[in-house]
Structures are given as C-alpha cells and as structure tokens.
Chain A
Amino acid sequence: DAGVTQSPTHLIKTRGQQVTLRCSPKSGHDTVSWYQQALGQGPQFIFQYYEEEERQRGNFPDRFSGHQFPNYSSELNVNALLLGDSALYLCASSQKGQLYGYTFGSGTRLTVV
C-alpha cells in the first residue's frame, strides 16, 4: 500500500520563475495538506484541499496556490519565486472528517537561486 508520493524530490529554480510540485495521497485518503519547512525550522501550514477546493489556508501570500484533481492528487504552485521560498515542501494526506491518521510524504526540496 503506497504512502504519500511527492515529485520531484529535488528542484532548482531561478528567482522570479514559477514552480509546480505534485502530491499523490495515500490510498483511501481524499484530503491533502501542504507545509513549508525552511532549514532549521518546523513545518508551516500552507493550505488544505478536499473535494477539489481550498478549505483552509495558513499565512502565505497569494503567490502560493494549489489545485486538487478528481483522483485526490494535488499540486502546489508558487509564482514569482523568491530566495526565501527555498525550503522542503511537505504534503500530508488524510481522510476528510477524520482528525487523525495524517500521513506525510518525504517532501520536495526546492532551491531558489
């Protein structure tokens, strides 16, 4: 039973560019949450998707946007990249309405140069 799959594992982008990160949730899960973890810090909540809509959002600018597909997979898009966007981006999946059983992926390491 596959867990949460994220792609790519590593990515290097230039300041000002746009990036798309992808997440496939664990089998049986329909809710995807995204977190940003800067070096040496704990993860910070970006947003959560279920039923193909953004349901909750953390304190991140509109440059961060997302999408959820009918198969529950999700994308995180970041526009106009800044050096400060360099981080490990983690995806977590769960079942809608269940307040436990979150599973985290291994993350995508984004470096902005």
Chain B
Amino acid sequence: KQEVTQIPAALSVPEGENLVLNCSFTDSAIYNLQWFRQDPGKGLTSLLLIQSSQREQTSGRLNASLDKSSGRSTLYIAASQPGDSATYLCAVFLGNYGQNFVFGPGTRLSVLP
C-alpha cells in the first residue's frame, strides 16, 4: 500500500530565506508526482508535476526534484515571500497502477515579513 509522508509538518521562516520541503513515498510504482499548494479552507492548486522518468521541474522560484528509486522528492522555494504562506501537499499519482492520487499530510509554511 502506497504511503506518503512529509517533513517537516510545519515551518516558520523569515522572508527572503531559501527553504526545502521533503516528501517520501513507500512504493516506486508511480506515474508522476505533484506538489500542490492549499490556502486555508480552499482547494488545491498544482505547482509542479514531475513525470516518473524525470528528475526535476522548475517554475519561477520553485524547483522540485524526484528520486523514484529512493522514494523521495523535495520542493525548493527560493527567496521566500509572505505570499508563499500556505500548506504544501505532495501527491503521487498511481496512473495505470490506480488512477488516483495518494497525498501526504502536508507541510504548513509561514513566511514572516
């Protein structure tokens, strides 16, 4: 059974810091991995999608890496801003192994001005 964990559970940093969020999954049989952002009480916004054959994806100040063999992904946020404050969710998509996402519990990020 696929399980996804995220470390840390919560993080508070001053504005301008670079930071790394970690995600681990137990089964390498995935189709892709996505990082989502969720603002309080809201739905999910997809940030980055990494196909299982890829190693990393970049969008603006965000960079996500994937090491499928070790079951790990990291989300790097450069020069953090107060507007980055949100919960960040990592999810593996099972694809042909089951067309649904398995989500981690999320990392709650606060960027202080």
Asked whether, in the complex, the Cβ of A44 is within 8 Å of the Cβ of B31, the reply is no
Which of A77-113 touch B at CB < 8 Å?
88, 90, 92, 99-100, 102, 104-107, 109
- B11: Cβ under 8 A from any A Cβ: no
Report the separation of the CA atoms of residues A104 and B31 in the bound assembly, to the nearest whole angstrom.
19
Closest Cβ of chain A to B5, distance in Å, is 10
Q: Would you call B96 and A42 a contact (CB within 8 A)?
A: no
CA gap between A61 and B36 in the complex, in Å = 27
Chain B nearest CB, measured from A26 CB (Å) = 12
- Closest-CB distance, B91 to chain A (whole angstroms): 7
Confirm or deny: B18 has a beta carbon within 8 angstroms of a beta carbon on chain A.
no
- Residues of B within 8 A of A (CB-CB), count: 25
Residues of A within 8 A of B (CB-CB), count: 24
Q: Check B91 against A99 for contact (C-beta < 8 Å).
A: no
Q: How far is the CB of B17 from chain A (nearest CB, A)?
A: 24
Are A100 and B49 within 8 A (Cβ)?
yes
How many A-B pairs with Cβ below 8 Å? 58
Closest Cβ–Cβ distance, residue A82 to chain B (whole Å) = 21
- Closest A residue by C-beta to B98: A56
Pairwise interchain contact A45-B102, C-beta atoms closer than 8 A:
yes
Whether B43 contacts A42 by the Cβ 8 Å rule is no
Whether, in the assembled complex, A8 has its beta carbon less than 8 Å from a beta carbon of chain B, the answer is no
Minimum CB distance partner of A44 in chain B: B103
Give Cα A58 to B42, complex, Å. 23
**Least CB separation from B96: chain A residue:** A99
9 contacts between A and B (CB under 8 A): A35-B103, A42-B91, A42-B103, A43-B89, A90-B43, A99-B96, A102-B93, A104-B36, A107-B42
CB-based closest 7 A-B pairs: A42-B103, A106-B43, A45-B100, A104-B44, A99-B95, A104-B43, A42-B105
Which positions in A face B, CB cutoff 8 Å?
4, 33, 35, 40-45, 48, 55-56, 58, 88, 90, 92, 99-100, 102, 104-107, 109
